[in-house]
Amino acid sequence: MKIEIKNLCKQFRKNMVLKDINMELTNGHIYGLNGRNGSGKSVFLKVVCGLYKPTTGEVLFDGKSYNKNNLYVPNMRALIEKPNFFPELTGYENLELLAKIQNKIGKEEIEEALKKVNLYEEKDKKYREYSLGMKQKLGIAQVLMEDPEIIILDEPFNGIEENSVKEISALLKEERKKGKLIMISTHIKEDLDNLSDVIYHFDAGTVTKEK
């Protein structure tokens, strides 16, 4: 899988949030997106995921533009900004509901994803009772459970305890070994230094390659 971002701009009214961004991303790598809050990282990821259309430019997946046809990339999963699930359902029930959309996986894969993010013991607790860190873990489990080719995580470690951050980081490195294309956005550069093969720095909508 190769993602090509060509001359990408995104404007909201008079505010140009992304300015002429060019990138080429390939599978088997972890790409870090660093920058302060408001620098354009989340908007960029939403454009890549097809939640926003580019104002100008394009995003190609193996040469194909999904945005132009209002299509979503089939084998991509993302956690952008804070996760949002049904508060009265348990963690497991929320993932089960999402899994039924495509019917690609069952109980075994859902439980395995929960184990990977250290949330299995809380799988039967209602989502409204989850802490911030537990909510983040459930969001990451949702991204991983269907074994996507492209993994996108926006501020994934927000509220998560240090031990789980280390374990999830190790898990993402294993996913990279499997040939996944992974994008991680955070304003905390230290979270990216040991994870990323390439780091892009966002500043007021412009992007520079740091690593």
Mean pLDDT by 10 residues, the chain (211 residues): 95 93 96 91 94 94 84 90 92 97 95 95 97 94 96 91 87 95 89 91 92 70
- Please write down the HEC assignment for all residues of 173-197: HHHHHCCCEEEEEECCCHHHHCCCC
Query: What is the model's pLDDT at position 95?
Result: 98
Domain boundaries, the chain: 1-75+149-211, 82-147
CATH fold of the domain at 1-75+149-211: Rossmann fold (3.40.50)
Structure tokens at 62: 């193996």
**Alpha-carbon 100 to chain mean position:** 21
Query: What is the model's pLDDT at position 190?
Result: 82
Judge residue 138's burial from the number of C-beta atoms within 10 Å of its C-beta, 0-12 exposed, 13-18 middle, 19 or more buried.
Answer: buried
Query: What is the model's pLDDT at position 68?
Result: 74
pTM given for the model: 0.92
CA-to-CA separations, 112 to 46, 93, 106, 108, 147, in angstroms, rounded: 27, 14, 10, 6, 11
CA-to-CA separations, 187 to 41, 82, 107, in angstroms, rounded: 9, 14, 35
Number of C-beta neighbours around residue 5 at 10 A: 20
Number of C-beta neighbours around residue 4 at 10 A: 17
